[in-house]
Structure 1
Amino acid sequence: MAVASSADRLRAPARTTLACLTLVLLLAAAPERAASAQAAPKPTAKQLKKELAELQKDSDKFIADYYESRVAGQKAERAEKAAREKLAAAQEVYDRQSTELRAMALAKYIGGDPGTAGLLTSEGDPSALLARMALAQHMIDLQDARLSGYARVRDDRRQAEQDAAARTEELQASTEELEKRKKKAEKQIEKIKDRIDLLYTAPGVRRPDGTWVPQLPAGTDNVTPRMRLVKELIQQRFQVPYGIGCYRAIQDGGEHPLGRACDFMLSRGGALPSGAELKRGEEIAAWAIKNARRLGIMYIIYRQRIWHTRTGGWRTMSDRGGTTANHYDHPHISVY
């Protein structure tokens, strides 16, 4: 049997120690690797936009179902109202005919009914008395038949009213449920849009005081990269059907000639925007305020007010003499 050399005997403990140290290091690193493997990667803008598109499809369906349900509910309400009106008319006729029938029966009772023996022994003409009695009975029977017919109509109307009321209640419950689902979907959409916004930060250099080093305009649109980003994010989130005006060559002392401002129009030709468009303007302004520091927004003007990042509050502006000049038909956003 071969005898191990002294060098091999010296190297063996070293190899054992090295193996132990390696095992300890692997075991120590295992939890960190496991935690790293378990941590979900942050979603990309593409992934979030795909999720947003799918959610918007569901939301659009909820909205369509909601409005269809509202239309059906309005029809049911009209049917219920018509049924109530018809029931009231049928009840009125029934009550009138019932009163007349009771009056006829009472008159017959008060006038007496001589009967066959009385008619034969009376001095009057029996045939004439019989004829009067027959006529009176015929009138009572006729009125009774009419009353029965009106009673059926009244009962049918009452059933129609009950059916219409039940349908209205059912549709109201359905509409309320759809409204809840629609609002939930809208909230989820807003959250995803917020997450998409957070993936973007203003390009350029930020100073220690929070302001940004100004940029030069570039590209065919003559706006700065910072202004272009703000414009694109607003377009993606809100849509601006009446157009966006940014660069203009007129040197008016503002940021438009510098490519650092855009107007997001809510109407055309200086017309006062509709209520929905005014609300859209408020939403754009609120979004710009929320993201101002991260995106390098300097100030916002809307509805004769100005909000500046430095002060963080709205301030009323002097009257400039018109809807557009006073920014009632568009929010204005300037970046550093």
Structure 2
Amino acid sequence: MTAPLRRRFPLAAALAAVTALLAGFVVASPAAAQESDPAGEGAPPLLSEVLESTGRGFVEAKAAVEESRKRQLQLSLELEKIQERLDALTPQIGEVAANSYRLGRITPVMVLLNSASPDDLLERAEGLDMIAMHDNKRVRELNQAREQAARAVAAIDAEVAREEQQLTAMDKQKKEAERALRLVGAVATNGFVSATSPVAAQAPRNSDGSWPAQSCSQDDPTTSGCITPRTQHALNETSKAGFNRFVSCFRPGGPFEHPKGRACDFSMQSSGFGGDAFGDDRLYGNNLTAFLVRNADKLGILYVIWYRQFWSPTTGWSSYSGAGGDPSSDHTNHVHLSLL
């Protein structure tokens, strides 16, 4: 499934509309698609390109929003602690000011004039020094707390602005993807979702929550090709969840995820792909798809396709019609998974 949507939408008007949307991309002919795609699947490269770019942009913006919200919470908690310190220091500073007003400024001359002996002078001088040190410390702590509070407020304001910027980016990516889908007649559906699906382990992310770029650097256990570490992680997690039927990942040729080691086709059969899935085989595909969608954030999923429906984090579930009319291009004999 080099380009998972390539022969799904043969309507000339739809493809012409997408061509107008993304002028400059080349649409492969069905014959060319068959030559570069031995599984016999494909998609309009124009639509695939839109879903690739908008999906990646959406996921990255979403990660930035989540990271910003975590930082805002952290800063808010920090500000609360600073405010508690300010509340405790303020009465102390008031006490210092009141004593100064009531007793007046104690100077070294006053200490000398009121000292009965050298020892008394030394004792008074030490007492004066201790009082001054104590009062200065409280004033200094109050000023430091005020400065910390100001910095925390400024940092929170910056994070709020960052969140708003990323939410705007998410909305833009969503609208672009939805526009492309409308041009090829896609219709929103409920898709395949199950809250009882197993929970996958988190794939490694960057410290800021974004997904690291990965190359096709690991041997593909399903073919003689290669896959990315994130694809390997997804394979491990699907296997742990009990989905152990035939899988094929790497496939040479084509501009999309398979030749980059970022896509896998999960068959409903124990060997090969076969025809349309029915009964228990289709239930297997439903359950696998629900598992992948539920764990999309943990696995780094770009999109999933199953039984004439596809899902992306940008648009959710949509159906399509007018595909190639065969199990491979209709995706009725396997679940396609593409990863970031």
Q: Give me the TM-score of the superposition, normalised by structure 1.
A: 0.44
Structure of higher RCO (CA pairs closer than 8 Å, 6+ residues apart): 2
Return the index of the structure with the highest Cα Rg. Answer: 1
